[in-house]
Amino acid sequence: MTTAQSPREGCEGYRRPAGRFPGRAGRRRAIVLGGVHLIIALHLLHWMVTGNTVSPVEPSESMYTLENGEVNAGFIFFIVVILSTAVLGRWFCGWACHVVALQDLCGWMMRKMGVQPRPFRSRLLAWVPYLLAFYMFFWPTLKRWSFPWLEQQIPAMVAWFTPVAPWPGFSNHLLVHDFWATFPSVLVAIPFFAICGFATVYLLGAKGFCTYGCPYGAFFTVADRIAPMTIVANMEACESCGLCTANCSSNVQISREIHIHDQVVDPGCMKCLDCVDVCPNGVLSYGPARPSMFVSGGPQSPKVRRKSHLSLTGEILLAIFFTLTWFSWRGVYEQIPLLMATGIALCATFLVWKSSQLLRRQDTSLQGISLHRAGTTSRAGRIVLAITTITILLTISAGQSRWSQNLAEQNFDAAMINLDQVLIAGQDPIPEQTKATAKRAADHFRDLLRFDRGGYALLEPAGTVLEERIGYMSAIAGDFEQARHWWQQAISENPSDELLLRYGQLVERVDGVKPLAIWLDDARKQYGDRAVLIGLRADLGRRQAFSALQQGQPMAAASHLKVLVRWIGEEPGLLEDIALLLDQAEATEEAKQFRERANFIRANGGIPAPVPDRP
């Protein structure tokens, strides 16, 4: 048997022999990943049945531990996985991650359709997972430490970031009632799977999202480099056929690495064991080895380091485009979560790169499909150009919305005051500067409306957050008609207690007490005996009674309180107040009836009984 010194030329292009995929390791992994998803489904079912369960076992939950001190199952799980990675190598991604399962499924489906996604290589974009890990897990703490000082030095800069809450200390969040609170809605989850699964796999390669978008992978990469377990090779038997490299969906240069180091050193290796399975000579196995950080050169060795598809200028330009795109999509419409924004930005960046190649080069192809040949753009090329153009236009629209959202929130925070100061008569006047800031906030929030409702956005945040905020800011700016308009819209969709209270106060402030009484009667018919409506009506009735009494009209005052019996029931105290007023109005017989009624209710343990002459 010959001992090969280097992999065969072009081994990366080799394919696994037809009919052998997914192989023993692949099948084992599919069974394990199926089991993981079954456990997730059972966890969800437990919550749906009992309403209370263990908090989500998701690494992303660690953010809430580091930001809010909430110790949850996800944080403990993440720590355990990082520690185990430092011993076993990067196993979690290959054997337990649902995003890898999704990518594997997409890759498998594409191979069935004859598409073998080739990996995209960029050195600068490979830093994205590390930056995301910093943003998610270290930035909140850094912000908490540094912002009190920065707020004094550069307040304008700090205003662009969400406010920092003081560290609340650790609290137990191992069990939760609102299991889904930190997850996106189903409407967001479906495009998330399409973008972070199919699109990234097709455009960036079989593990495109892991390579360029996974913040947890950044931790596993670091832990993997000190792990004493990896894929090792018995080089005596290697024939440099390159099958291992060709079949590694993590894009590890196995053949090249084992020829240099006798082991795999790339921390992108997910220990899926596909290479062990596919090697015809049994060269590879999973076992003890020198941690890659102590291997001379390691994955950074020039012989092992993968070549980028981009020039330095290209790397820089695409990194700038990625950053702008990511900031445009992150949190836009209050719907797009961080990982989805990352997936969108990665796909958009790749499309821009591919389209620029298409426009500049004689021959360009995408996953084996010719886009441009001998100066002629093919139908597929025109489709890619159209998709790229649409993606850029959508990104510009998202960026505009994100910009308006930032400005709106900044002005909203600056103008926010207790609405009692605006809606209740006799309060101190609102400073003109606050009014102007509130007007600016209302204008920026209006920009966030969908274009068919007068704004510039393609989508709006879920619920009535925009209507409520425009109404809120319009009220502070003194534009009560606008406030009325937007709160009416918000109430028609979401008649919350706060909105009903504020709307009632607004009606009284603008139209007076009688229109308020009429609106309250209508609102009660529509929304039922809500405590907020009853509270507003009781307050109104008592104020009307007090005012009538001050004008020397005890009978009118009694009438105002009698109305309240229909709202708050036969409360003995209320009946006695009515009796007192009737006494003052010299309606002693009626006063006697109310007093007797109050005594009767008290004597019967406060249980109201029918009133013959119920007002």
Which residue ranges make up the site for ligand SF4 (CB under 6 A)? 7, 231, 233, 238-244, 248, 250, 252, 254-255, 264, 269-275, 279, 281, 283-284
Peptide bond into 17 cis (omega under 30): no
- Cβ of residue 255: shortest distance to ligand SF4, in angstroms? 4
Which of 480, 449, 481 shows the shortest CA–CA distance to 465? 449
Q: Which is nearer to ligand SF4, 234 or 378 (CB)?
A: 234
CB 33 within 8 A of CB 96: yes
Distance in Å, CB of 114 to ligand SF4, minimum: 22
- Cβ proximity to ligand SF4, 141 vs 285, nearer residue: 285
Q: What are the DSSP calls for 542-565, one per residue?
A: HHHHHHHHHTT-HHHHHHHHHHHH
| Minimum distance from residue 130 beta carbon to ligand SF4 (Å) | 20
Question: What tokens does 568 get?
Answer: 């708050």
Nearer to ligand SF4, 119 or 455 (CB): 119
Q: How many whole angstroms separate alpha carbon 354 and alpha carbon 141? A: 38
Rounded Cα–Cα distance for residues 363 and 384 (Å): 14
Looking at the DSSP bridge assignments, the partners of residue 285 are 232
Distance CA 67, CA 167 (A): 8
- Does residue 309 contact residue 275 with C-beta atoms inside 8 Å? no
Dihedral, 25, 27, 29, 32 alpha carbons, nearest 10:
-140
Nearer to ligand SF4 (CB atom), residue 102 or residue 565: 102
Q: How far is the CB of 203 from ligand SF4 (least distance, A)?
A: 20
Nearer to ligand SF4, 196 or 269 (CB): 269
Which residue type is seen at 461? P
Q: Which of 60, 61, 83, 84 shows the shortest CA–CA distance to 72?
A: 61
Angle (CA) 76 80 83, round 5°: 140
* Nearest distance, CB of residue 268 and ligand SF4, angstroms: 7
In the complex, minimum distance from the CB of residue 273 to ligand SF4, in angstroms, rounded to a whole number: 5
Taking the C-alpha atoms of residue 521 and residue 537, their distance in angstroms, rounded to an integer, is 9
What is the C-alpha to C-alpha distance for residues 252 and 224, in angstroms, rounded to an integer?
Answer: 14
CB of 124 to ligand SF4, least distance (A): 23
Q: Which of 342, 343, 370, 341 is nearest to 354 (CA)?
A: 370
Cβ-based nearer residue to ligand SF4, 1 or 49? 1
Q: Is the dihedral of CA 180, 184, 188, 192 positive or negative?
A: negative
With a CB cutoff of 8 Å and minimum separation 6, the contacts of 287 are 229, 230, 232
Nearer to ligand SF4, 207 or 597 (CB): 207
Residue nearer to ligand SF4 on the CB measure, 151 or 239: 239
Min CB(233)–ligand SF4 separation in Å: 6
Q: Please identify, using beta-carbon distances, which residue of 244 and 516 lies nearer to ligand SF4.
A: 244
Q: Closer CB to ligand SF4, residue 212 or residue 412?
A: 212
Quote the least distance from Cβ 240 to ligand SF4, whole Å.
5
Quote the least distance from Cβ 252 to ligand SF4, whole Å.
4
